[in-house]
Amino acid sequence: DAKTTQPPSMDCAEGRAANLPCNHSTISGNEYVYWYRQIHSQGPQYIIHGLKNNETNEMASLIITEDRKSSTLILPHATLRDTAVYYCIVGEDNFNKFYFGSGTKLNVKP
Amino acid sequence: EPEVTQTPSHQVTQMGQEVILRCVPISNHLYFYWYRQILGQKVEFLVSFYNNEISEKSEIFDDQFSVERPDGSNFTLKIRSTKLEDSAMYFCASRERRGEPQHFGDGTRLSIL
């Protein structure tokens, strides 16, 4: 089962930052936090991941709390093309099978 | 940017027939995975494959399913005798090494008639 909890849906105005929260209170020390998104029925698209430190790449920023029990994905300037289901996944370092939850449906509105 | 490719994009098969779904993972990746997503439902893990053997499989991955890496580039999922409930999107993923993210293909839509 998924070890994460996310709100089922969120709205965001185009051009504004989208902040998507995720709770993973049972995360263990060797588990990473991964974020993916899925547009329609396409394959999940990797966005960003982290272990302890905050991370930033060209797509997004990932803020992980100090106790690692929750994280936030930030899309700094959301566009209509960012409308998708966003998944927060906790994966262990080993063979790392992913359990997908229901994710957050992000609706970016003009 | 290298990507995972899956063929065919859509496969239609009669119930009871065998089907093989094909994937070409990213070339330097070592870990391989199959997932499926029934329409309107969550993405579900099926199997992981490393060092030429299955490392983990889910309850869904029963004796009707098998995986193979027949050469250095392809990774296949075979369903021996398809059932109506096998209709789903099947996603292949690969990963370079531990700790790195999985990269997914765009899937094969399998329709069982």
The 10s digit of each residue's pLDDT in B99-110 is: 889 999 999 999
The reported pLDDT for the residue numbered B53 is 93
* pLDDT class of B98 with cuts at 50, 70, 90: confident
pLDDT above 80 for B2: no
Written as one string, the DSSP assignment of A11-30 is EEETTS-EEEEEE-TT--TT
* Residues of chain B found within 8 Å of residue A30, distances taken between Cβ atoms: none
Residue entry with tokens 């065919």: B8
The reply to whether residue A94 touches residue B98, judged by beta carbons under 8 angstroms, is: yes
Q: List the Cα angle A87/A41/A75 in 5-degree steps.
A: 40
* Mean pLDDT of the B1-20 span: 94
- A98 and B CB contact within 8 Å: yes
How many contacts, defined by CB atoms under 8 Å, are there between A and B? 61
pLDDT above 90 for B76: yes
| Percent of chain A clearing pLDDT 70 (strictly above) | 95
Please tell me which of the candidates B43, B50, B58 has its beta carbon nearest to residue A95. Answer: B50
pLDDT above 80 for A92: no
The reply to whether residue B45 touches residue A94, judged by beta carbons under 8 angstroms, is: no
* Residues of chain B found within 8 Å of residue A96, distances taken between Cβ atoms: 31, 48, 95, 98, 102
Residues B35-71 have pLDDT tens digits of 999 999 999 999 999 999 999 999 999 999 999 998 8
The reply to whether residue B102 touches residue A98, judged by beta carbons under 8 angstroms, is: yes
Cα B107 to its chain centre, rounded Å, is 8
Please tell me which of the candidates B45, B106, B107 has its beta carbon nearest to residue A98. Answer: B45
Please tell me which of the candidates B39, B42, B106 has its beta carbon nearest to residue A100. Answer: B42
Verify cis geometry, omega within 30 degrees of 0, for the bond prior to B8.
yes
The reported pLDDT for the residue numbered A95 is 66
The reported pLDDT for the residue numbered A40 is 87
- B64 and A CB contact within 8 Å: no
Phi first, then psi: give them for residue B63, nearest 5 degrees: -65, -15
Whole-number Å distance between alpha carbons of A4 and A96: 15
Contact criterion met (CB below 8 Å) for B37 and B31: no
Residue entry with tokens 């229901």: A102
pLDDT above 90 for A2: no
pLDDT above 70 for A93: no
Shortest alpha-carbon distance between residue A30 and chain B (Å): 9
Residues A42-82 have pLDDT tens digits of 999 999 999 999 999 999 999 999 999 999 999 999 999 99
